[in-house]
Chains A and B, each alone.
Chain A
Amino acid sequence: METPPGELLAQTPVFCKLNQRERADIGNLAVWKRYAEGEFLAHQGDVWPYVLVPADGQINVHKLSSEGRSLGALRLGAGQVFWSPSVFDGGPLPAALEARQTCEVYLWHRDPLLPRVRANPEAMWDLCELLIQRIRQASDMVEDLAFQPVAHRLARLLMKQYQETADVHVSRSLTLDEMATMIGTTPVMVCKILSRFAGEGFIKVSRTEFEIIEHNKLEQMAGL
């Protein structure tokens, strides 16, 4: 392991409010696990009463429909904490957790963890803030799905990738399936709209990258 749990916790919301001794104590309770790419940490509907902090790799949190479509709710990278809803109410997970690439994670079961966190008021306030941020993310997604057409959501996804690299040549790091999952539609629809964007001269699509040609028009389409 590269990062000991105590060190990781010092930079993680909620746990960073505890003192060093409390963090070391919680660090000793951690269970370390490695998951291969595509492996599920937990399935939608599981009762999974754990807090998770990835030490390395990425985890997709996504919702699945009965027809096999999926919607990406969240992507967790190293140090990004996830509190399963089952920790709070013993209820089922509303989404699945899947390793996007080989990853190493620390897990804490709710039973030994909660008394230690609940004893610290500042940590509890931090937990409220963390949950509120998650509610805001869910609220933004509801707003997008309710009010924005698929073309708008796809344009926004492309612009977001462009903004991350600040290069008009955006590498195709996401498959059509992944893009569809991230904006709540089907791969066929993504393909159709990418062709439309290309036909209208907004972008050029090749096997390995998107080239953004009409930056302003794509931005306008994305409502940014």
Chain B
Amino acid sequence: MNLNELLSQNLIFTGLNSQEKDDLVKSAITREYQKGAWISHYGDVWPYLFVVERGIVTPIKESSERSLIVVELDEGEVFWGLSFFLEDAPMPVALVAKETCRISMWSHDHIKPLLLKNGQMSWELTRLMVRRMQYASEILDEFAFQPVTGRLARLLLEHFGDAVGDYVSRDMTLDEMAAHIGTTREMVCRQLYKFADEGAIQINRTEFMISDQARLEKIAGKIVG
């Protein structure tokens, strides 16, 4: 799908007329990134709004020892640097290409006049912000109220839903699992063995199976309440 088609399908841009959309496509700064490349670093002042044209971009929070994958942005999704809205505000996350990807971005100076001219565009942008805030709120719930055990059980159910009663390939490393639930790889490893001892899962070096879905759901259910 080309950029014009992507914009036409995104609610933020549907209020623009064809001329405005064409201008936006022409003025886009397009960049390609290899898997693992950094698009922006934590703390950068990065005043852009972008659309993922191809591939997946992951916003990642980092501490000196650990990282946390907040969300994954797929084709057509819109994201921004804080300083696009708030002058000189640093990035609260790093942006990394999860796989080879292509993004189209625009500076604050380029998009703001369009937002001021087009009320529908700014309304849809506020609605997207509220959805992102609701998502951040769910993450807050998990970290404030739910133990690592429950967060890991939920991740396994969400990510390995096809593995109920069948072995599937382990396409997620311990580090990646740890980054998704905000803990260490050692803790993930320990909990996985605990789940295996309890009969909820079976795991070996390359494959994974949910052997007792109800038990795993119960562990995850405790955290849902």
| Complex: chain B residue closest to A127, CB-CB | B126
Residues of B within 8 A of A128 (CB): 85, 115, 122, 125-126, 129
Is residue A139 contacting chain B, with contact meaning CB distance below 8 A?
yes
**Residue ID in chain B nearest A121 by CB atoms:** B116
Stretch at the interface among B22-30, B134-142, B196-204, B211-219: B134-142
Query: Please, which residues of chain A bring their CB within 8 A of the CB of B92?
Result: 136, 139-140, 143
A118 partner residues in chain B, CB cutoff 8 A: 119, 122-123
Q: What per-residue 1/0 map shows which CB atoms of A42-74 lie under 8 Å from chain B?
A: 000000000000000000000101110101010
- A146 within 8 Å of B by Cβ? yes
B110 at the interface (CB under 8 A from A): no
**A127 to B125 Cα, complex, angstroms:** 10
Most chain A beta-carbon neighbours within 10 Å: one of B112, B132, B144: B144
Interface size class of A (residues with CB under 8 A): 35 or more
Judge whether A131 and B82 touch: CB under 8 Å. Answer: no
C-alpha spacing A95/B70, complex, angstroms: 20
Within 8 A of A (CB), among B69-86: 70, 82, 85-86
How would you classify the secondary structure of chain A's contact residues: helix, strand, loop or mixed? helix
Give every chain B residue within 8 A of A89 (Cβ-Cβ).
127, 130-131
- In Å, the complex CA distance between A125 and B126 comes to 9
Picked from B61, B70, B131, B144, the residue with its CB within 8 Å of the CB of A65 is B144
Closest chain B residue to A181 by CB distance?
Answer: B144
A129 at the interface (CB under 8 A from B): yes
Instruction: State which residues 42-79 of B face A: CB under 8 Å.
Output: 61, 63, 65-66, 68, 70
A88 close to B127 (CB less than 8 A):
yes
Complex: A122 Cα to B112 Cα, angstroms: 10
B31 on the A face (CB < 8 A): no
| Cβ of A142 under 8 Å from chain B | yes
Asked if B68 and A95 sit within 8 Å, CB to CB, the answer is: no
B6 is an interface residue with CB less than 8 A from chain A: no
Tell me which of A124, A142, A145 has the highest count of chain B C-beta atoms within 10 A of its own C-beta: A142
Point out the residues of chain A lying under 8 angstroms from B190, CB to CB.
none
Contacts of A129 in B (CB 8 A): 85-86
Q: Are B115 and A125 in contact (CB under 8 A)?
A: yes
Report how far A140 CA is from B70 CA in the complex, Å: 12
CA distance A140 to B63 in the complex (A): 12
Interface residue from B82, B112, B127, B145 paired with A136 (Cβ < 8 Å): B82
Interface centre among B137, B140, B182 (most CB of A within 10 A): B140
Given A136-B89, A143-B61, CB of A122 within 8 Å of CB of B130: no
Given the complex of chains A and B, what is the CA–CA distance between A65 and B143 in angstroms?
11
Contact assessment for B125 and A71 in the assembled complex, using a CB-CB cutoff below 8 Å: no
12 contacts between A and B (CB under 8 A): A65-B144, A66-B224, A67-B225, A91-B134, A121-B116, A124-B115, A125-B116, A132-B82, A138-B137, A139-B93, A142-B70, A142-B140
9 extra A-B contacts, CB within 8 A, seeds A63-B144, A125-B115, A142-B68: A69-B145, A89-B131, A124-B126, A128-B115, A128-B129, A136-B92, A138-B133, A143-B92, A146-B63
